[in-house]
């Protein structure tokens, strides 16, 4: 009798153990299935984000080319979407309007111009030579067709003069002020010493740019730059040196 009870108990324990193993296996498979599903969704989301970024960049690249060739007014949103291989709805998914799209392109190009100017002066022998190198790079990159048309011809009209000046001063004036501080050999200067010279330099370089775009006769960019450098040297000797002496 006792052997019979032991056998029954053994069978019941064995059945319980087998059931436990089966449940563990099912749970493990479910867990693996959930992990696989989550991983698949993550991959799909990443691919979707990458495709969205590519689509957005394609719209920007096509629009930049069309704006350069034909100007803002002559390019329709439908022409942009068709050239980019997307629907009009897809274009408006990424940009609320043609003006918003243009604004992003113009601001990016404006930023790239000033980055190129900054890099041009990094390896100069001294700060004034760095300033000259940056000014020359400005005269070079601003004459590239996309920069010339979008940043200097179209942007002031499309974005408005005030908005364009705000962008130009935020990027250009800050860069020039940094260059002037290097020329002065100080980390900071009073606004009444720094800003007038910075505005003179920015205004001169911008006017050289526009004169080159208009192909004005009698304007030699190198002579204009030489006059600006002479003014810069006078500023460094008179205004900055006097200020330094007062601080000593």
Model confidence over 190-245: pLDDT tens digits? 999 999 999 999 999 999 999 998 888 888 989 999 999 999 999 999 999 999 99
CA angle 146, 153, 149 (to 5 degrees): 15
**The two three-digit tokens of residue 124, written as one number:** 């100069």
- Is residue 110 within 8 Å of 103, Cβ to Cβ? no
Q: Give the integer Cα–Cα distance in Å for 233 and 199.
A: 16
The single residue listed with the structure tokens 């499309």 is 158
- For the chain, domains (ranges, CATH) are 2-90 (1.10.10.60), 98-242 (1.10.357)
**pLDDT on residue 3:** 41
Measured CA to CA in angstroms, residue 88 lies from 45, 58, 85, 94, 158 at distances of: 23, 14, 10, 10, 21
The distance between the two most distant Cα atoms of the chain, rounded to a whole number of Å, is: 123
Confidence label for 149 from pLDDT (cuts 50, 70 and 90) = very high
The single residue listed with the structure tokens 């050239």 is 83
Tens of pLDDT, residues 64-103: 999 999 999 999 999 999 999 999 998 998 999 999 999 9
**The two three-digit tokens of residue 117, written as one number:** 């100017």
């Amino acid at each position: 009798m006792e052997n019979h009870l032991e056998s029954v108990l053994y069978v019941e324990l064995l059945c319980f153990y087998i059931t436990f193993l089966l449940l563990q296996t099912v749970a493990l498979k479910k867990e693996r299935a959930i992990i696989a599903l989550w991983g698949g969704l993550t991959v799909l989301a990443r691919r979707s984000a990458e495709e969205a970024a590519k689509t957005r960049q394609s719209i920007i690249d096509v629009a930049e080319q069309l704006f350069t060739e034909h100007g803002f007014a002559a390019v329709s949103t439908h022409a942009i979407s068709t050239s980019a291989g997307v629907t009009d709805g897809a274009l408006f998914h990424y940009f609320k309007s043609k003006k918003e799209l243009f604004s992003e392109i113009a601001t990016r190009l404006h930023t790239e111009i000033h980055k190129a100017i900054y890099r041009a002066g990094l390896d100069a022998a001294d700060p004034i030579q760095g300033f000259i190198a940056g000014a020359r790079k400005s005269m070079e990159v601003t004459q590239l067709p996309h920069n010339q048309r979008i940043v200097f011809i179209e942007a002031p009209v499309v974005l408005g003069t005030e908005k364009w000046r705000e962008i130009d001063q935020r990027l250009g004036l800050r860069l020039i002020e940094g260059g002037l501080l290097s020329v002065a050999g100080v980390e900071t200067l009073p606004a009444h010493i720094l800003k007038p010279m910075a505005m003179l330099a920015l205004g001169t370089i911008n006017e050289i740019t526009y004169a080159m775009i208009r192909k004005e006769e009698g304007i030699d960019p190198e002579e204009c730059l030489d006059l600006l450098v002479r003014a810069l040297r006078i500023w460094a000797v008179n205004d900055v040196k006097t200020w330094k002496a007062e601080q000593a």
